[in-house]
Amino acid sequence: MRSIFKVKNLTLFALLAATVFTTACTSKKATDGENTLTMSVSSEIKSLDSIALGDLYTNRAGSQIYEPLYTYHYLKRPLELIPALADGMPVMSKDGLTATIKIKKGLLFHDNEAFKDGKGREVVAEDFIYAWKRLVDPRNGSDGYWIFEGKIKGLNEWRDKVTKGEADYKTPIEGFTAIDSHTLQIKMIKPYYQLVYVLAMPYTAPTAIEAIDKYGKEYANNPVGTGPFMMKSWIRGNRLEMVRNPNWREELYPSEGTPEDQAKGFLADAGKKLPFVDKLVILEIVEDQTRWLNFMKGQIDFAGIPKDNYDTAIKDGKLSEEMTSKNIKLDIVEEPDLTYTAFNMEDPILGKNRYLRLAMGHAIDTETMIDKFYNRRAISAQSPIAPGIDGYDPNYVNPNKKFDLEKAKEYMKLAGYPDGKGLPEIEYSNTSSATSRQFVELFTQHMATIGIKIKVVTTSWPQFTEKLRKKKAQLWGIAWSGDYPDAQNFFQLLHSSSISPGPNAANYNSPEFDKLYDKALGMPPGPARTKVYLQMRDLAVKDAPWIFNTHRTTYTLDHEWVHNFKIPPISHDFVKYIRIDTAKRAEKKKDL
Amino acid sequence: MFRYLVRRVLYLIPILFGITLITFLLFHVVGGNPAAQAAGKYGNEAQIRALEIEMGLDKPLHLQYVDYLRQIVTFDFGRSWSTHQEISTMIMNGMGPSLSLTLPAFLLIIIISVSIALLLAHYRGGMLDKAVLIICLAGMSVSSLVYILYMQYWLAYKAGIFPISGWDPSWTGRWEYVALPILIFIILSIGGNVLFYRTVFLDEVLQDYVRTARAKGLGTVRILFKHVLRNALIPIITLVVLEMPLLILGSLLLESFFDIPGLGGLIYSAIQNSDFPVVKAMTFIGAGLYMIFQLISDLLYAVVDPKVQLR
Amino acid sequence: MKPSRSLWQDAIRKIKRDKIALLSFFFIAAYFLIAVLCAAGILFPNHAAPDVANSFLPPSSDHWLGTDLFGRDVIARASHGTVTSLMVGLIGAGLSVLIGATLGAIAGFCGGVIDDLIVWFYSTIDTIPYILLLSALAFLLGSGLNTMCLAIGLTSWVGLCRLMRAEFMRHRDREYVQSAVALGAGPFRQIFLHILPNTLQIVLINFSLSFVGAVKSEVILTYLGLGVEVGTPSWGMMINDAKQELIRGVWWNLAAATIFMFILVLAFNLFNDALRSALDPKLKGKA
């Protein structure tokens, strides 16, 4: 069909197509030589306001911008606290109720339009107090206020008053005072040994009031911190770019570590000034396939291994051919992490029937779960105490956890529901994601073997937390990642003061447990306290408000041009230690 | 003409009201308590109640509806529950990327589909016609996810022709990222479009005037493009113009797999996060756009076909 | 003189002659048969029994399309998925057709204020983007099979409503209706006994189209997280899980769901085409 129109038609089409597709063929090579680290997160970063750094990925992004008083030594294990913005460890009073902390001199906020002449000013003690007030102000809806709740003098009263409009930020809180411009004093109601840990969380980073005044609600998109990186641009839900902070304080790469660090090359940069990279790009990629393909092509410098890509990456616990041929390295970290299935202890069926809960605990085949869903990158959890924490005993076996169908059926009889007869359907609250759906399907199958019918109700995450808050859920699965290496962080999830709308969504209420908890809270770390922790553990095991599932291990792959990659458990401010061999990347990426 | 226009616009007003009413009721009932959302995971009753007062949620329903109407008129859709950005800003930011994907794809689809359909109208009934029919139907019966997954894997990852995902806000840089999604979009939509245009053209081609023209000795090409196409313009315009608002909404799946920060991705996250202010705003905008384009379509219709009477 | 054939008899004759149409009809019937057999527990009764040791086995003589994550035979799962899809199709499309036809009939027949109200109502619903309305309803009603059918039914009736309204307006003043009125037929008789039978072909075609739309919507709804209950076999779930499975080389789950859905949709589309040609006298002679 030759015709004028047709030719015109075709040319138009060809032209359009050509423009679009030829620009595609010229993939940008310019950035390969740049001193940039590119990483990706698998869910959206919610906000860059320091008081909103709750979930893992938001925390990871925010930790490069904000710095708290303390942090963890990058290389030493077990984890050791070192000062970040603080000048030395806190000085405690004899009765353990007052902590005096000095702040380093000459610390500067990021340059930002909020300041006079756009230059970041020096950080003073008041900036910390202002930040902490914002954190606990109920009107800000922060999920992190619990770190101070009920522990600091005058804090709870201030919270109440602020809600009623009877106080504001100028009203002083007795427990937070600035003795001088560089000295903070914290007064506690009772001894709080986890205070230093809490002061290592980015929730407690200093905030400049000028920035809040200028940006107001938009502060979440215009963060101003003191960290090694400053936000340059953020296409929400897509790409966050940060650049090196030229005014950052001086920090050097550590010269000590664990005995293996030397051999692994982690001490090669000892004594050098940080950070090494000039730019940090965080890509928010939700789809596993997209993230994985980008990593394999070298577009992302390091990444976790999605469950379905595991077999391509790891064979028999070691890196596969495909990985080693590309010189990709593996980093394994045991996080203080716990996944568990929780019962609503206020539920008439589940809460009052211990035998029923025990029956369910014995019907779960954790090994299969670990095999299919964690690729064996987890260990079966016996208690709420995770590896790496005081009181963790690798040899402890939870008597109520063993996969034993006979015992499960016996417990069902004791519970009054032989073979599940007479037991109404139990509702499992689930959130939507392909993996969690499969996971729950496995759970349902396990329960079916002892005659328990499970009805799965899937909702979005906000609807799920709403259900928990209203105590309307019966059974659900959830995980908790330790905020610091102290079992108290896990045990507080079972204390009656945390009952919904708090993190104790299981609504576990045991006066005996509470007593032990309060006792341990007032004890310094040591064998005496560990003994109390073990007592609490045994109580939790006996009462079974949760079925402890697993402690997960994180496997991260990084490319050969990434140096000093030893991600610590818990803390996220590791980007400053990483060095990229840009020449090598430019060279090797082409072959991927 | 003018009177028709005025009448049509007036007619839109009750519809607009209807939309605001429905979105308000729906999201009010469905959406959960905004104050509870704002109070955070561990907010207690007292805090939630305080926030309710601050957000005006303690007022009776009809007053809240009036508030809602006022917001719409001033284009203030409030803030997203999950990102706390101003929703109007989010929408403005998302339009560019979405249109960069859908507009070029749309134009290409029209050109390709129309050409193929004209071809088929000419060779109707033969092997080519049947073969193309089956291919189109077959293509349409495969889920979009399949196309996306496989093409991303083979063309972007394995062959390296396209980037795997991502976005560049600059005007020159974005085309490279949007190329593969455009290609997939075209493949996804071509089946349906070819079939539609084919039916339209067939309707025309079998008309008497075509036989007359051919008897008069006019060439096939001239008949097809000068006469058939022009007469078929009416249903084509209707379809094309009505599809335009959808362009702005972007493609949910493509934007999510290829990491393009458009409106489609915005809607998708909003649904996932129960972010009702965003879903509410997008619903209203989608509806509003559809109405505007319906009006345009009706007007063009009247312009193109003088036989159409404007009721 | 041969008795003249009614529209329906004529249509059936045409279809019987069209080989492709017959073939499609046969496939559609086969699907319904499979669904009924599966639901009755006769076909693949053990589709739900997990056998985790054998998860993700590739296709073999034992399992023609391999096994899924829990070791279950993929063909068995896909066959049971037919039940889900057909239910969604039947109930969803059925509901939509019921609402659309009823409202359209009332609007077209009654005219006046009632007509204006119904037109206002459907114009409003029509203007709201489908996906948003669907997900809002799904959130309201919760996820699951029943609510999915309800949501689909409540959002896709406008097309038929418009058509029916036009038809009823056309027929209302026709002679045959006028004669019925003269004989004392009330509105009820007029609508159901006289006009409706003459518009049934439109309803049928529309139902067929909505059916396909409903089956496809199931996949999208599942992607958005608003699909059937966990554990219920469904093509939408199988396709969605494939997102992660493909990269590890497990293609058979996706293949099964795609093939099953593909054949059904294709058969319906082809049959639809034939139905339309057979029932619409104006389209006589077109391919």
- Report the run of H or E that residue B297 belongs to, with start and end: helix B276-304
Name which of A288, A289, A364, A441 to mutate to probe chain C: the one with the most chain C Cβ atoms within 10 A of its Cβ.
A441
Rounded to the nearest 10 degrees, how much is the dihedral formed by the CA atoms of A376, A287, A45, A492? Answer: -30
Q: List the single residue in C230, C240, C241 with the smallest CB-CB distance to A430.
A: C230
When the candidates are 1.10.3720.10, 3.40.50.920, 3.10.20.340, 3.40.50.1820, the CATH number that belongs to B87-304 is: 1.10.3720.10
Pairing of strands A279-284, A36-41: parallel
Closest-CA distance of chain C to residue B19, Å: 6
Confirm or reject contact between C193 and chain A (CB < 8 A). no
Boundaries of every domain in chain B? 87-304
C-beta atoms of C244 and A455 within 8 A: no
**What pLDDT is recorded for position C287?**
37
A434–C244 CB contact, under 8 Å: yes
Residues of A in contact with B250 (CB under 8 A): none
Residue A272 has pLDDT above 50, yes or no: yes
Calculate how close chain C gets to A472, using CA atoms only, in Å: 15
Higher pLDDT, C160 or B201: C160
Contacts of C226 in chain A (CB under 8 A): 432
Highest mean pLDDT among A493-502, B22-31, C167-176, C180-189: A493-502
A465 part of contact set with chain B, CB < 8 Å: yes
**Confidence (pLDDT) at A12:** 59
Chain segment C91-114, per-residue pLDDT in tens: 999 999 999 988 988 888 888 888
Residue B41 has pLDDT above 90, yes or no: no
Cα distance between residue A562 and residue A565, in whole Å: 7
What's the whole-number mean pLDDT along residues B12-21?
83
Chain C residues with beta carbon closer than 8 angstroms to that of B150: 246
Assess C52–A contact: CB distance below 8 Å, yes or no: yes
Q: Subunits that touch chain A (at least 3 Cβ pairs < 8 angstroms)?
A: B, C
Residues A188, A175 contacting (CB under 8 angstroms) = yes
Cβ of B50 and A143 within 8 Å? no
pLDDT in the model for residue B183: 92
Which among C40, C75, C78 has a CA at the least distance from the CA of C61?
C75
Reported confidence tier of residue C5, pLDDT bands at 50, 70, 90: low
* B250 — pLDDT class (breaks 50, 70, 90): low
Chain C touched by B274 (CB under 8 Å) = yes
pLDDT at B276: 78
Chain C, nearest residue to B19 by Cα: C124
- pLDDT of A146 reads 86
Structure confidence by residue, pLDDT tens digits, A475-502: 999 888 889 999 999 999 999 988 888 8
Q: Tell me: pLDDT of A251 over 90.
A: yes
Q: What residues in B contact A289, CB-CB < 8 Å? A: 149, 152-153, 257
In A, minimum Cα distance to C241 occurs at: A434
Residue C64: per-residue pLDDT:
86
Specify which of B80-84, B267-271, C12-16, C264-268 reaches the highest per-range mean pLDDT.
C264-268
User: What's the gap in Å between the CA of B246 and the closest CA on chain C?
Assistant: 8
Burial environment of residue B96 by CB neighbours within 10 A (0 to 12, 13 to 18, 19 or more): middle
| pLDDT at residue B304, rounded to an integer | 66
- Are the beta carbons of B180 and A24 separated by less than 8 Å? yes
Residues A68-78 have a mean pLDDT of 93
* pLDDT(C285) > 70: no
Specify the pLDDT at position A592: 79
- Residue A296 near chain B (CB below 8 Å): yes
**A288 and chain C in contact, CB less than 8 A:** yes
The candidate with the shortest Cα–Cα distance to A361, out of A277, A273, A452, A432, is: A452
Please report the number of interchain residue pairs, chain B to chain C, with beta-carbon separation below 8 angstroms.
107
Give the model's pLDDT for residue A9: 57
Distance, CA of A378 to CA of B125 (rounded, Å): 63
Neighbours of B, requiring at least 3 CB pairs below 8 Å, are A, C
Nearest to A460 among B50, B220, B272 (CB): B272
> Does B77 contact chain C (CB < 8 Å)?
no
3-state helix, strand and coil shares in percent for chain B, rounded to the nearest 5: 75, 0, 25
C281 touches chain A (CB under 8 A): no
pLDDT range class, residue A183, cuts 50, 70, 90: very high
Pick the residue from chain A with its C-alpha nearest to C236.
A434
Residues in A closer than 8 angstroms to B256, CB to CB, are 286-287
Record: contact B267-C131, CB cut-off 8 A: yes
Residue A557, beta-bridge partner list: A303, A330
- Nearest CB to A312 within list C237, C241, C248: C248
pLDDT of residue C55: 82
Is B292 in CB contact (< 8 Å) with chain C? no
Mean pLDDT of the B133-159 span: 82
Q: Which residues does chain A have within 8 Å of residue B86's beta carbon, measured at their own beta carbons?
A: 218
> What would the mean pLDDT of B128-148 be, rounded to a whole number?
80
Q: Average the pLDDT over B231-253 and give the result.
A: 72
At A64 the pLDDT is 96
Taking contacts as CB-CB distances below 8 angstroms, the residues of chain B near C129 are 246, 249, 282-283, 286-287, 290
Q: What is the pLDDT of residue C286?
A: 40
Smallest CA-to-CA distance from A444 within A477, A407, A411 is with: A477
* pLDDT above 90 (res A579): yes
Angle at A52 (CA atoms; ends A46, A56), nearest 5 degrees? 65
Put simply, whether A436 touches C (Cβ < 8 Å) is: no
DSSP secondary structure, C229-282, as one string = PTTS--HHHHHHHHHHHGGGT--HHHHHHHHHHHHHHHHHHHHHHHHHHHH-GG
Question: Smallest CA–CA separation between C117 and chain B, in Å?
Answer: 10
Residue of B nearest to A165 (CA): B50
C-beta of residue B117 within 8 angstroms of C-beta of residue B268:
no
C250 — pLDDT class (breaks 50, 70, 90): confident
Collapsing DSSP to helix, strand or coil, B236 comes out as helix
pLDDT at position B32: 66
Please report the pLDDT score of residue A362 as a whole number.
93
Share of residues in chain B with pLDDT > 90 (%): 3
- Cross-chain Cβ contact B111/A239 below 8 Å: no
Chain C adjacent subunits, 3+ CB pairs under 8 A: A, B
Q: What is the pLDDT of residues A504-546, one digit of tens each?
A: 999 999 999 999 998 998 888 889 999 999 999 999 999 999 9
**DSSP category for residue A499:** B
pLDDT at residue B128, rounded to an integer: 82
A–C interface: beta-carbon pairs under 8 A: 68
pLDDT, tens digit, for every residue of C27-47? 999 999 999 998 888 888 877
Q: CA A486 → CA A205, A516, A522, C225, distances in Å?
A: 21, 15, 13, 37
Q: Which pLDDT does position C156 carry in this prediction?
A: 84
Query: Chain B 18-47, CB below 8 Å of chain C: which residues?
Result: 18-19, 22-23, 26-27, 29-30
Segment B266-286 mean pLDDT: 81
* CB of C197 less than 8 A from some CB of A: no
The band of A4, judged by pLDDT with boundaries at 50, 70 and 90, is very low
Q: Tens digits of per-residue pLDDT, C145-177?
A: 888 888 888 888 888 898 888 888 888 778 888
In this structure, the number of other CB atoms found within 10 A of the CB of residue A420 comes to 17
pLDDT value of position A406: 92
Q: Do A435 and C244 touch (CB under 8 A)?
A: yes
Q: Find residues 402-431 of chain A whose CB sits inside 8 Å of chain C.
A: 430
**Cα gap C76→C48, rounded to integer Å:** 9
pLDDT in tens, C49-90: 888 778 888 888 888 888 888 888 899 999 999 999 999 999
Lowest mean pLDDT across A447-456, B261-270, B273-282:
B273-282
Distance from CA of A469 to the nearest CA of C (A): 18
Q: What is the pLDDT of residue A213?
A: 95
Query: Do C50 and A437 lie within an 8 Å CB cutoff?
Result: no
What are chain C's domains? 77-278 (1.10.3720.10)
Report whether pLDDT(B55) > 80.
no
In this model, does residue B311 exceed pLDDT 50? no
Q: Is the pLDDT of residue A26 over 50?
A: no
DSSP string, A173-203: -TTEEEEETTEEEEEBSS--TTHHHHTTSGG
The predicted pLDDT at position A30 comes to 47
